[in-house]
Structure 1
């Protein structure tokens, strides 16, 4: 569950835009937040907000944007078209977060999206793209030389999106976060969908890889344990998922990880003994095994849950 909005993004303070607000003569760099108050608002209300923003805020001051509630996000797709229309003006835009919504506004698995491809093509200089939610999310494989950070937070990531990300040429990308999620929230990404990504050939600059919030964390971890891309990483994040001793043993038996600066396994189902062995095997690496979870038993069935679902 996500309960708070960002107060900063890309190292910049998040400042909500309000039509008619007083603006200083010299605007400091900020991350502008665009959001309508009513989660059931007509999409035209958000379009009017964007129009006011374009009219009142100098284009050169639009370096970072955080898109909040646009009205009925549970059924109306993210207004990517409005961002594409403004691309000719917002040539300074480098950092974009689409759908910084908390659970009270819209559960992460209900947030409706659209095709990201036109957006990325419209902003070739974009360096940071965060997206929350995976419902109806789409992407075509493409080359983007600007991106340095791509974060896709979902309760369930469609395999088609994972394959598209893996098929992109992103030569400058240093950080990639994919929240894989659960099958009951459209998360059908398999290890096969991640194969090209794990090979690393299209991501020569990658240093931070997160394949987290995964219901199939053991299978993902087994693949990661032998993946060529791991050799170039500084940070490996397998947190928020249902990692068990099966995955922990795979890490211990896999390729050396002592070159890592950080291994994040928070929110896991490892036994205390296995967690301790992973930590002991990686001296000098910041191994985070906090937030150990207990298996929940209902009747004769056992349940393990990812950190973020609905």
Structure 2
């Protein structure tokens, strides 16, 4: 998986880019574009500006958006690029969105950082304290974040959040601990891209322990611990994790997964109750991979163990293997 394209949908709705100010677009064309806007509740609105040479700030574009649509009907919002995202975080954006909470009464899905690798590499994206948005929107059901640099996620309690996704080339340990210490009684889906130490991914397996215990996640049915350079160790921890017994979907893909991780899964608790197990992008031998696949598909589990995009090379006696998304 890459971050080379923008989200095509969010919150169950297709994304729609709100028209930007462009010096090459005349006033008549701008007016036509504004008249052609879809219904406020029909799309996930992507508000974005140029990352390098924007005609306006993100907050200025957001202000135009609030004036152009009925914000009380907006269900999903996607925050795209802001000027110099590789140098500055989105704190002003968070403040602006939070300040509009009384107008965005129907908002249920929010994504922060829908920024492609061409615009800004994932590990260069500066983030901020995203729990500000959870505090501002107690009815929010879906939150996604891309970028781990300067990301903060202090422990919170949120009654209605159903899906949380954090994508990073390296997820800071403090973020993992913050998520693990949070209370999410309604959360059904949790997805963390743990990443590599080269890009700030300094969490350890013990940091995942509260997530794997599941005590604060009573409604969880999908767990994705992805993109880790320590994917074998993640598998070993998952193999004995209490939360697994109530999952329907388990995703351990995109990381440096080898035969050791598969052996740990096979030797752990039964996984035959799962609907799906995703292990794509891996360094697993054909024999071990086939054994796992045969064992679980016989029980009705859909297994994805495609390794086609995994990249490695040998340097003398050392074999270098890579996660799917790093820089």
TM-score by length of 2: 0.91
Match of 1:299 among 316, 319, 323: 316
Q: Any conservation in 2 of the 1:41–1:72 contact (CA below 8 Å)?
A: no
Match of 1:191 among 196, 205, 222: 205
Match of 1:93 among 91, 107, 122: 107
Q: Which residue of 2 aligns with 1:37?
A: 50
User: Does residue 137 in structure 1 map to residue 151 in structure 2?
Assistant: yes
User: Does residue 62 in structure 1 map to residue 74 in structure 2?
Assistant: yes
Q: CA deviation at 1:54?
A: 1.4
Q: CA deviation at 1:122?
A: 0.4
Q: Distance in 2 between matches of 1:85 and 1:295?
A: 47
1:71-82 aligned at under 5 Å gives the runs 71-78=83-90, 79-82=93-96
The root-mean-square deviation of aligned C-alpha atoms, in Å, is: 1.6
Assess, with a 3 A threshold, how the Cα gap between structure 1 residues 170 and 109 changes in structure 2: closer, same or farther.
same
Where in structure 2 are there 5+ consecutive unaligned residues? 21-30
Match of 2:60 among 41, 45, 48: 48
Q: CA deviation at 1:294?
A: 5.7
Assess, with a 3 A threshold, how the Cα gap between structure 1 residues 34 and 4 changes in structure 2: closer, same or farther.
same
Q: Distance in 2 between matches of 1:255 and 1:70?
A: 45
Q: Distance in 2 between matches of 1:23 and 1:171?
A: 40
Q: Which residue of 2 aligns with 1:286?
A: 302
Q: Which residue of 2 aligns with 1:126?
A: 140
Assess, with a 3 A threshold, how the Cα gap between structure 1 residues 27 and 114 changes in structure 2: closer, same or farther.
closer
> Post-superposition, which runs of at least 4 consecutive aligned residues in structure 1 deviate over 6 A?
none
Q: Any conservation in 2 of the 1:39–1:69 contact (CA below 8 Å)?
A: no
Match of 1:174 among 188, 192, 198: 188
Q: Distance in 1 between matches of 2:122 and 2:106?
A: 29
Q: Distance in 1 between matches of 2:75 and 2:159?
A: 18
Partner secondary structure for residue 194 of structure 2? strand
Q: CA deviation at 1:85?
A: 1.3
Q: Distance in 1 between matches of 2:40 and 2:178?
A: 38
Q: Distance in 2 between matches of 1:7 and 1:36?
A: 17
TM-score by length of 1: 0.96
Q: CA deviation at 1:25?
A: 8.9
Q: Distance in 2 between matches of 1:171 and 1:294?
A: 38
Q: Any conservation in 2 of the 1:130–1:150 contact (CA below 8 Å)?
A: yes
Q: Any conservation in 2 of the 1:29–1:61 contact (CA below 8 Å)?
A: no
